[in-house]
Structure 1
Amino acid sequence: MEASDDNEVIQLSTEALSALQEFYQEEQVRASQVFNDHSFGPVEEDWQLSQFWYCDETALCLAKEAVAAAGKNGRIACISAPSVYQKLKELNTEDLSMCILEYDRRFSVYGDEFVFYDYNDPLNLPDRLEPHSFDLILADPPYLSEECLRKTSETIQYLKKGKVILCTGAIMEELVAKFLDLKMCNFIPKHARNLANEFRCYVNYNCGLDTVCS
């Protein structure tokens, strides 16, 4: 009886191992398909990282404007603006090159398009991000402080070829003009969760946000 019992245990363990291996293989295939389709599940905002997601309408408006501003075969860099980046991935942007500069390593699921970014070290960037190589920079500094804006501006100035969209508090208007020479437009970004601070959008070109998404 003991030998029989032992054999039954061994047989059950083998079946369980086989089922587990099959499960892992299916998960690997599913993960590969998801990555290739860029259909990642939503990443929840993390207030500990000062993340405040835009509402879908705002994210879509900003994403569409970024595509139009970058132009065909253009390059877009999203700096600390992951909700807009994810909306860009939902659009038909096969002719565009994009990257996301973000402190949150959860966005590494986007492979080479993810660049770990800490605004405290604004020029610590990989070699593949060449200076003045992005047609459109879309940025949302994580904190409403002069230091954060100044350091994020260093990154923007290094990467930008021309057009910039910056979303930050209305109280930052003078500093935005000082560091980046951007002007406030009429478009008002809205967040999925209401924030106490009034947010505005700043640009350095004649954008379509006012007429398309006002």
Structure 2
Amino acid sequence: MINNDSDDDVPQLSAETFLALQEFYNEEEQRSAIQLEVSQIAKSDADIDMSEDWQLSQFWYDSATIQTLVKIALESVGPSGNIALLSCPSLYKKMKLNSTENHIIHLYEFDKRFAIHGEDFTFYDYKAPLSIPSNRKEYYDLVIADPPFLSDECLIKTAATIKLLAKNKIILCTGAVMGEMAHRLLSLEKTNFNPGHKNNLANDFHCYANFNISTWL
């Protein structure tokens, strides 16, 4: 007689698989807790200072750069489209102001001050590149990214996030020293547009893309 209750028939998780699952659930719990925190910040009426925080490696774009990138973004996706701003919060306000009700603009950012943008804000830490909402995978017609640090590690992890979020179009603003890696990781080419910043940076800064942006320059 066959004993259907035998423990031998019950699939067992390996220790490695169990640890991977546990890490996944821990990250999900942490992300949920952070989102709850930022939603509370978003409801606050406090006057939040949006000046650059250099400890977070923040350098805001100058007005001409913001205007150009907003124009490229909105016109390249057409009258309706989804746009993700990854670690480039100084673009959000102008982008939202110039968008239509048929555009979706989402900001992914480490700095929780930007939670004032409510549901358009998602906390993002490049060190956890895969920790994004599951319904946002291949959701965006365009992803614009500006990794906070000029390092291989930062770009590799940011690129992993970009690949998850993007349907096709990608714009990356970063230092010239990262150009070769940007091409290798994301097949991006240097454009003839060089972003500028309110406070001049010592590093040469370039714009890379996987589509022709010259039409809108």
Name the TM-score, length of structure 1 as normaliser.
Answer: 0.77
2:168 is aligned to 162
Correspondences of 1:63-212 after superposition (within 5 Å) = 63-129=70-136, 131-208=137-214, 212=216
The structure with the largest alpha-carbon Rg is 1
- Describe the SS at the equivalent of 1:45: coil
Whichever residue aligns with residue 195 of structure 2, its letter is P
Q: Is residue 74–residue 99 contact of structure 2 (8 Å, CA) maintained in 1?
A: no
The alignment yields a C-alpha RMSD, in angstroms, of 1.9
- How many residues in Structure 1 have an aligned counterpart in Structure 2? 174
Whichever residue aligns with residue 85 of structure 1, its letter is Y
1:25 is aligned to none
- Describe the SS at the equivalent of 2:130: coil
2:32 is aligned to none
Which contiguous aligned blocks of 4+ residues in structure 1 show a shift greater than 6 angstroms? none
Counterpart Cα distance in 2 of 1:77 and 1:92? 13
Change (3 A) 1:151 1:136: same
Counterpart Cα distance in 1 of 2:173 and 2:131? 22
1:8 is aligned to none
Counterpart Cα distance in 1 of 2:149 and 2:64? 23
Q: Cα deviation per residue 1:65-88 (whole Å; 9 max; x = unaligned)?
A: 110112222000000010112220
- Describe the SS at the equivalent of 1:156: helix
User: 5+ residue gaps in structure 2?
Assistant: 1-41
Give 1:183 deviation, angstroms: 0.1
Pair 1:52-2:51 in alignment: no
Counterpart Cα distance in 1 of 2:204 and 2:90? 18
Counterpart Cα distance in 2 of 1:86 and 1:199? 22
Give 1:64 deviation, angstroms: 1.1
Q: Is residue 96–residue 105 contact of structure 2 (8 Å, CA) maintained in 1?
A: no
Counterpart Cα distance in 1 of 2:90 and 2:206? 16
Counterpart Cα distance in 2 of 1:177 and 1:198? 17
Counterpart Cα distance in 2 of 1:106 and 1:138? 20
Whichever residue aligns with residue 124 of structure 1, its letter is S
Give 1:171 deviation, angstroms: 0.9
Whichever residue aligns with residue 62 of structure 1, its letter is L
Counterpart Cα distance in 1 of 2:135 and 2:117? 16
Q: Cα deviation per residue 1:179-203 (whole Å; 9 max; x = unaligned)?
A: 1110000101000000000000000
- Describe the SS at the equivalent of 2:134: coil
Counterpart Cα distance in 2 of 1:80 and 1:157? 15
Whichever residue aligns with residue 196 of structure 1, its letter is A
Q: Is residue 81–residue 102 contact of structure 2 (8 Å, CA) maintained in 1?
A: yes
Give 1:44 deviation, angstroms: 1.1
User: 5+ residue gaps in structure 1?
Assistant: 1-30, 35-39
Whichever residue aligns with residue 202 of structure 2, its letter is A
Counterpart Cα distance in 2 of 1:212 and 1:156? 23
Give 1:90 deviation, angstroms: 2.3
Counterpart Cα distance in 1 of 2:59 and 2:87? 10
Please point out which of 65, 69, 86 is paired with 1:62: 69
